[in-house]
Chain A
Amino acid sequence: MQRILRSRALAALTSPHGVDRYLELVNPMWAAAEVRARIVSIHREVDVPGHPPVATLTLQPTSTWRGHRAGQHVQLGVEIDGARRATRVFSISSPESGPGDRLTITLRANPRGVVSRFLVERARPGTMVHLSQAEGEFVLPDHVPERLLLLSGGSGITPVMSMLRTLHRRTHRGRITFLHYAQSPDHQIFAAELDEIRHSGHGTEVHLLHPELGDPNLSPAYLDRLVPGYRDVLTYACGPAPMIDAVRAVYDGSDVLRVEYFQPPRTSGTSAEGDVAFVRSGVEVANTGATLLEQAERAGLTPEFGCRMGICLSCTAVKRDGTVRNVLTGEESSLPDEEIRVCVNAPVGDCVVDL
C-alpha cells in the first residue's frame, strides 16, 4: 500500500499538491509521507498542587513513522484553538520503536508553554497531532558497553528513561547506574517503575536525589564513589543547561560523555541589547534595535528583499532563536525556528537568524 502511495505515478496525478493533501481529508491517519499521530491516552505522572503537572501521552503514529532509537526526540505540532499550529520538540520516553509502532512522550505543562499546557491540560484521546520523524544523535551505540551511567535532572529524565527501558527490554546484562536529580520525591516522574527496577536486581542501580532536601550535589568525589572511574564509563546526561554545565565540569573533557540539554526560556531585554547572529553568513553584530534586514545590510549582507514594508514576503527568513518584535504591530515572538519577514521585525535581545 505504502509503495503505491509513494509511487511517482500517484505523485504526478496529485501534482502540485501531493498525495497527503488528499488522503488527510479522507482519514487523518492515512499518509504517504507526512507523519501524524492520534493521542491514544493521557496519563498524569505527577500532579503536585501548586506545581505544573506532568503527563505521559501515548501516541499512535501513521504508518509513515519510521520508528526511533532510544534517546531521540520528535517535533510535535498541535493546532491551538483549532487554528494556530505550534510545534515544539519533545523527547520520546518509550523504549525504541519500529515503523508504525506506538510511542510515548512525557512532559511537564510549562506554565508559559502553549504546546505543553495544551497537551497536558486540554488534549483528549483522539486529538490529532503532527510529528516529524525521530531526530537526534543522543542515542545508545550499536554495541552497548558493559557499564553505563545515565544521568538526568528534572524532565531530562525522558530520553534516559527510554534508554533504560530499551536496555531492560533487550535484557541487557551489563551494569547500569541511573542517577536522577529532582526537586522532591513528590516530583519524581516514573517513581513506581524506577522502584520496581531498583528491586528487581537486574544490575541496575537507581539513585534518586533531591539536593533541596539535603541530598549531595553532583561532584567528582560523589560520582566517583557511586561509579568508580566514571571518567571511563559511557555516560548519557540530560537536563537543564546549568546542570549540563556542571556535568561537563565534573567530566573535565572526557570523551565518554554524551549530553543533551534544554534551555529555559530567554528573558527578553530592551530592544537594543544583545547580539544578532546571521548564522548562514557566519556574521555576528551587536544589536542596534533596527530591523533585521537593516542590521543585516549594515553588516554587509545582501539578503533578498522586496517591498520593505511587510507585504510581499520576499525577505522571509527563519529565525532560529531569540525574540523579535514586529515593528508594525509591536507584537513580540520568541518561537524557535520561526519564519519571519526580516524587513518588519527587529530583534529584542539576542537573536539568531538563518541569513
Chain B
Amino acid sequence: MKTNKTTLTPEQLEAFGEELDAVRRRILDDLGEADATYIRNVVKAQRAFEVAGRAMFYLPPAWPLAVAALSVSKILDNMEIGHNVMHGQYDWMGDPGLSSRMYEWDNVCPSEQWKYSHNYIHHTYTNILGKDRDVGYGILRMDEDQPWHPYYLGNPLYAFLLMVFFEWGVAMHDLEVENIVAGRRKMSENKALHAGIMRKVRRQALKDYVLFPALTGPLFPLTLAGNATANLVRNIWAFNIIFCGHFPAGVATFSQEECEDETRGQWYYRQLLGSANITGGRLFHVMSGNLSHQIEHHLFPDLPARRYPEIAEDVRDICERYGLPYHTGPLRKQLGSVARKIVRLALPPRSPRAEAPVVADPVAA
C-alpha cells in the first residue's frame, strides 16, 4: 500500500540520511577482531553441526537428532553465514573463505545468481512495485496495488508450495518465468542461468541424495529421508523469517515514479519504511541470520549482521526523533499478519474504487 507519502521535508530527509551515514561510519571504523572471531565461531559451529548430523545417521535411533543437527547446519550456512557473507559483510577481512566473491552456500541456488537478484535487484529497488521482484516473487499477490486476477485465488496454496520448496523457488526466481509467460523475456536469455542452476542442483543432489545415503549402506533410505527433511526444515524456517521481512501489515511499498532520482536520504527512508523486524532472543537472531533485524539490514546491507542489535538502538532513536514508524513484533504476530495478508489478497478488493484495471499478465508482480 502506497500510503506512506513522505512526512519529512527535503532538509529533514538530508539530515536523516546524514545521521544514518554517521552510524555506518562509526561501525565501519570499529570493525575488527571481535567481528572476525564471531563469524569464524559461527562457521565452526556450522561445520560441527554438519559433521555431527552426517555421522549420527549411522545410528538409526539418533535419526531425529541427526536431522536436527543437519537442519541447524543448513540454516546457519544459508542465513547467518551465506546470506551475510555474500552481502560482502566480511569482505574487509580479506579471507577467501568469507569473501562475497567466493562463498558458495549449501543451497540449490547458485550464489552468483542469487547475488544479482538479491543484492542488486532486491536491495536496490526494495519494495518498488514492478522493480523489486521479491514482492510476491512473481507468483503471489502481496500488495493491494498488484491488480487482482482469479489466478490469485490460489495465493495461500502458492505460498504454501513456495515455503515447502523454498530453495527451489529461490533458484528458479532468477529465471523470471513470470516475465517469460508475459513475453517480456526470451527463453534464450535463461540458457546460461539454467546451466548454472543445473550444475549446482546436480552437486547438491549428489551429496544429499546419493553419496551420503550410500555411505550409510543399508540405512540408505533413512539417510536420504533425513537429508530431505533437513532441507525441508531449512526451507520452512527461511521462508517464514524472510516473509516477515517486508510483508507484515503497515510495511510500505512504493511506486516507480515516487523513487525516481532518489537522494541517499530518500533511499534510507524507503528501506526503513519498507522493512519489518522480529523481536526475539539472541539465539533466535543468530538462527534467523539476523534477518530479524531486517530494517537495520536494509539500511546497512554490508555491515556485519552481528552489529545490527547495537545499530537498532540508534535507528530507533532516529526514528523517534523524526516521527517515523519502526515496524517490529514477535514472530507469532508478524507471521499472523503475513498469513492474513496472503489470504486477504487472494480475494478481489472489496471497495470497487480500489479495483485496478487488469492490464498486465496475471502473474506479473
Contact = CB atoms under 8 A, between A and B. Distances in A.
Interface string B109-152: 00000011001110110000000000000000000000000000
Nearest to A318: B101
A82 B94 CA distance: 11
B207 A13 contact: yes
A83 B35 contact: yes
Contact of A16 (B91, B104, B120): B104
B97 interface: yes
Contacts of B239: none
B301 to A, nearest CB: 5
Interface residues of B, number: 45
A77 interface: yes
Interface string A84-107: 111100000000000000000000
B142 to A, nearest CB: 23
A309 interface: yes
A303 interface: no
Contacts of B120: 306-307, 312, 314
Interface string B70-113: 00000000000000000110011111010011001110000000
Contact of B302 (A13, A16, A311): A311
Interface stretch (B24-32, B278-286, B316-324, B326-334): B24-32
Contact of B116 (A83, A314, A339): A314
A12 B119 contact: no
Contacts of B101: 313, 316, 339
Contact of B93 (A85, A313, A329): A85
Given A16-B106, A82-B36, A25 B47 contact: yes
B119 A314 contact: yes
Interface residues of A, number: 30
B211 interface: yes
A83 B33 contact: yes
Nearest to A17: B104
Contact of A21 (B47, B123, B203): B47
Contacts of A15: 203-204, 206-207
A313 B47 contact: no
Contact of A81 (B32, B116, B119): B32
Nearest to A21: B97
Contact of A84 (B21, B92, B115, B302): B92
B212 interface: yes
Contacts of B31: 83
**Which secondary structure characterizes the binding site on chain B?**
helix
B186 interface: no
Given A309-B267, A311-B123, A311-B301, A22 B204 contact: no
A86 B207 CA distance: 34
Nearest to A86: B94
A48 interface: no
B212 to A, nearest CB: 7
A224 to B, nearest CB: 48
A314 B121 CA distance: 10
Given A81-B33, A312-B123, A316-B101, A13 B211 contact: yes
A9 interface: yes
A329 B28 contact: yes
A85 B94 contact: yes
Interface in B194-250: 200, 203-204, 206-207, 211-212, 215
Interface in A31-70: none
B2 interface: no
A311 B302 CA distance: 7
Contact of B95 (A25, A85, A306, A328): A85
Given A84-B94, A329-B28, A16 B203 contact: yes
Contact of B94 (A13, A17, A87, A310): A87
Contacts of B100: 313, 316
B174 to A, nearest CB: 14
A158 B301 CA distance: 45
Of B94, B106, B119, most buried by chain A (CB within 10 Å of CB) is B94
Nearest to B105: A16
Given A16-B105, A339-B91, A83 B119 contact: no
Interface of A: 9, 12-13, 15-17, 21-22, 25, 77, 79, 81-87, 306-307, 309-314, 316, 328-329, 339
22 contacts: A15-B203, A15-B207, A16-B200, A17-B104, A21-B97, A25-B43, A25-B44, A79-B95, A82-B32, A82-B36, A83-B33, A84-B36, A85-B95, A306-B116, A306-B120, A311-B301, A312-B119, A313-B87, A313-B115, A314-B116, A316-B101, A329-B25
Given A21-B97, A306-B124, 10 more contacts: A16-B104, A16-B203, A17-B97, A83-B36, A84-B92, A87-B94, A306-B116, A307-B120, A307-B123, A311-B302
State the 6 A-B residue pairs at the shortest beta-carbon distance, nearest first.
A306-B120, A85-B94, A16-B104, A83-B36, A312-B120, A307-B124
